[in-house]
Amino acid sequence: MKENAKTIDYDELYRNISEYEDEPVYYDRLILTGVLANEDKKDYLISIPGTSGYDAEGVFYVTWDGNPYREDDVVKLWGVVKGLETYSAVGGEYTVPKIEAVDIQRLSQPD
């Protein structure tokens, strides 16, 4: 799966999510920005860092059943697109692309 994974522009993925359903994807240098409670898996919000500081260019809802990660970890992500996911957070509800992770590798961690 990793060898077939490609990086899809966030806006392209979001706007045409049905075209990419079940497609393998890869993203590098993402920031883990949230850990969500779930009984059997770890669900994370993982962001594409913006060009101006910490503002995110886009956010993914990622499901993962491997080793846990912490907020602010910088990671590489391989996974499969699973449509859109809506989650609740401070400020309202948000709908973002959902990725079922196949592998996550930490590049660095918070101090």
Q: Which domain holds residue 67?
A: 2-108
| Residue 97's CATH number | 2.40.50.140
Please give the tally of structural domains in the chain.
1
What global pTM score does this model have?
0.88
State the residue for tokens 């920031």: 31
The pLDDT, as a whole number, for residue 88 is: 84
Stretches where the chain sits below pLDDT 50 are none
The pLDDT, as a whole number, for residue 91 is: 82
The pLDDT, as a whole number, for residue 108 is: 80
